Amino acid sequence: MNIILKWSTSNGGGRHREPRQMARSFVYSSALVAFAAILSISNAGAAPKDGWAGCRSASPDDRIAGCSSVIDHIAKEPRHNKIAAYFNRAGAYAAKSDWDRAIEDYTKALELDPKSATILSARAVAYRGKGDLDHALAEYSVALSGSPKDAAAHLGRGEIYHLKADYDHAIADYDEAIKLDSKNAAAFSARAIAWRLKGDGEKALADLSEAVKLDKKTAAALNARGAFYHSKADFEHALADFSDAIKRDPKLSQSYGNRGLAYHAKGDLDHAIADFDEAIKRDPNYAAAYLNRANAWRAKKDLDRAKQDYEAALKLKPDLASAKKGLDEVEKLIAKKAASAAPTTAAPAPAASH
């Protein structure tokens, strides 16, 4: 589970909201995990070999095409291969956020292997992607009833409780995931967020620091701890973590966006704008980066550039309320400035009296 925390400034004056965990981060990262899980096959039956090659592809579209070719000849395949074809195609649909088709294929796989904790957990991810948290929770619980030592299923169920704001049950599942896999950085990061939401900053920081120690490959834990420091107005530590995250993964736009916010909070608007530039360069569809750069331009009193960036953010995400508010305020400021700069009309000379 790769957690990236993103937040936006509340206005042009540099006051920042607390970092907030985006629910879609859980869903997106779990969908990628589901996609990465590929069931192997035994000796192929009647299905074409190139179909099986595609059914194990790293490309979602190629995998869907390959598995579909196999499924067209599925009748003569052995049971294990039938399960693999449906499971692998379901993972590809999940990676494309085509949740209904993913659920349909996972269901067909479960008809062949009803007790598979792997397939049940994967279908739980798809239900979560649809926003059906109750079904997702039920799926994980069934999976765990048959495989109580499945750390990934405990982590997945903990995330569902988390999204339902049941932080005590979430922490209990995260605890179990960590007992079963003490090197699971994702579980420490997830538990840290739950502790933070329960108001226990000390435990949150301890878990985030443990996640940073364990995760030596990705920028996720560094971004999460940096966001925590930012929420505590400890901007020096936040900047250090975000900078390390950038070194760890220079292509990750969110790390630049996060560091830009920390610079903004410190009043270093030029460095903030430079980081938002880098974030947008890496991800031109990063609406929050345009919003945050707009706020920085506004704080520098460059209203025209602020207006352009608010408009760019809204073009990407028309329902972004903070961008709508910012654009409305900036347009009023521009109009007020134009009105005050307009030359006043001289009063007409009085008519001559006779």
H or E, element range at 318 = none
84/77 Cα distance (integer angstroms): 10
pLDDT for res 38:
58
CB-count exposure of residue 308 (10 Å: 0-12, 13-18, 19+): middle
Q: Are the C-beta atoms of residues 19 and 230 closer than 8 Å to each other? A: yes
CA-CA-CA-CA dihedral for 141, 147, 151, 154, to nearest 10: 10
pLDDT for res 341:
75
28/25 Cα distance (integer angstroms): 5
pLDDT for res 47:
54
Nearest of 184, 183, 205, 181 to residue 195 by alpha carbon: 205
212/245 Cα distance (integer angstroms): 10
52/65 Cα distance (integer angstroms): 10
pLDDT for res 44:
54
Which residues of the chain fall below pLDDT 50?
1-28, 31-32, 347, 350, 352-354
| Interval 206-262: pLDDT, tens | 999 999 999 999 999 999 999 999 999 999 999 999 999 999 999 999 999 999 999
265/16 Cα distance (integer angstroms): 7
